[in-house]
């Protein structure tokens, strides 16, 4: 069967729509309800109650950081942030990434080839949505930041694909 360009674009749109529908739709279909906070069950240095998190974070940041949501591609101003500076966790102000490691991946999310410091982020296996990916979380509060893929630039070959709403940028 030959897949024509128009059919291929329609297929990509369908896949993207399923991804954008997020964990709520997946939960409705497969019964995998999202859990608040880090999925790994690991204890993190910063502890807050869910009420405290909801009070501290915007609804969008809460959805991403605590419920493992994903913001829509190309919606974060941090995707187009090109000034020198540092990206911090929106939940706890942990230093996550430097602008020196940022690159334009063309995916619509802020992308980095390495964290600012080796211990700034942690990873867990994310087996949601019928696939296996490596989830990236803040090492201090456990907040969901995004995912890391092995299709990035040198020197690491990694692409830390982060949700902008999960971060704050402070220029130098």
Q: Which of 92, 138, 141, 161 is catalytic?
A: 161
For residue 150 the two structure tokens come to 């092995």
- pLDDT at position 41 is 58
Residue 44: what pLDDT?
Answer: 83
Chain centroid to CA 163: 4
161 is catalytic: yes
| pLDDT on residue 46 | 84
pLDDT means per 10 residues, the chain with 172 residues, are: 46 42 35 40 80 95 95 96 98 97 97 96 88 93 96 97 98 96
pLDDT of 21 reads 40
Q: What pLDDT score was predicted for residue 42?
A: 65
Q: What is the pLDDT of residue 165?
A: 98
DSSP 99-123: GGGEE--SSSS-EESS-SSTTSEEE
What is residue 2's predicted lDDT score, i.e. its pLDDT? Answer: 54
- Judge: domain 34-171, CATH 2.170.150.20: yes
């Amino acid at each position: 069967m030959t897949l024509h360009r128009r059919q291929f674009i329609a297929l990509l749109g369908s896949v993207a729509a399923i991804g954008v529908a997020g964990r709520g739709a997946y939960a409705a279909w497969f019964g995998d309800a999202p859990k608040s906070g880090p999925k790994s069950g690991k204890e993190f240095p910063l502890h807050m109650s869910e009420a405290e998190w909801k009070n501290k974070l915007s609804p969008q940041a809460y959805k991403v950081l605590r419920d493992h949501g994903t913001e829509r591609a190309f919606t974060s101003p941090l995707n187009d942030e090109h000034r020198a500076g540092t990206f911090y966790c929106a939940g706890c102000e942990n230093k996550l990434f430097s602008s020196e490691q940022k690159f334009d991946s063309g995916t619509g999310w802020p992308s980095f080839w390495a964290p600012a410091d080796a211990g700034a982020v942690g990873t867990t296996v994310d087996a949601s949505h019928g696939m296996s990916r490596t989830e990236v979380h803040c090492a201090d509060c456990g907040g969901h930041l995004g995912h890391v893929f092995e299709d990035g630039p040198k020197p690491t070959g990694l692409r830390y694909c982060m949700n902008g709403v999960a971060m704050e940028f402070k220029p130098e």
